[in-house]
Chains A and B, each alone.
Chain A
Amino acid sequence: LIIRIDFSGLWQSHWYEYAVRFALGGLMTAVAGLISNLYGPEIGGLFLAFPAIFPASITLIEKHERERKEKAGLRGLRRGKEAAALEASGTVIGSFGLAAFGMVIWLIAVISPWTALIGAGAAWLIVSVLLWSLWQFRARAAPDRMS
Chain B
Amino acid sequence: VLFSIVTIWEGSLCGLRGEVRRHAMTEYAIRFFVGGLVVSAFAALGDVFRPKTFAGLFGAAPSIALATLAIALLKQGPNYVAVQGRSMVIGSIGLCLYSLIVCYLIKSDLSAKSAALLASIVWFAVAFGLAWILWGAV
Chains A and B belong together in one complex: yes
Measured CB to CB, the residues of A under 8 A from B are 1, 3-7, 9-10, 12-13, 18, 21-34, 36-38, 40-55, 57-59, 61-62, 80-81, 83-99, 101-107, 109-110, 113-114, 116-117, 120-121, 124, 128-129, 132, 135-136
- Bound complex: CA A109 to CA B28 (Å): 23
User: Which of B6, B79, B86 is in CB contact (< 8 Å) with A102?
Assistant: B86
Q: How many A-B residue pairs have CB under 8 A?
A: 344
Chain B 31-64, CB within 8 Å of chain A: the 1/0 string?
1111111111001101111111111111111111
Measured CB to CB, the residues of B under 8 A from A are 2-3, 6, 9-10, 13-14, 27-28, 31-40, 43-44, 46-73, 76-96, 98-100, 102-103, 106-107, 109, 111-113, 115-117, 120, 123, 127-128, 131, 135, 137-138
Q: Tell whether, in the assembled complex, residue A92 and residue B99 are in contact, meaning their CB atoms are under 8 Å apart.
A: yes
User: Which of A30, A86, A102, A104 is in CB contact (< 8 Å) with B32?
Assistant: A30
Known: A25-B38, A51-B95, A105-B85. A42 touches B56 (CB 8 A): no
Q: Tell whether, in the assembled complex, residue B60 and residue A91 are in contact, meaning their CB atoms are under 8 Å apart.
A: yes
User: Which of B54, B83, B93, B107 is in CB contact (< 8 Å) with A132?
Assistant: B54
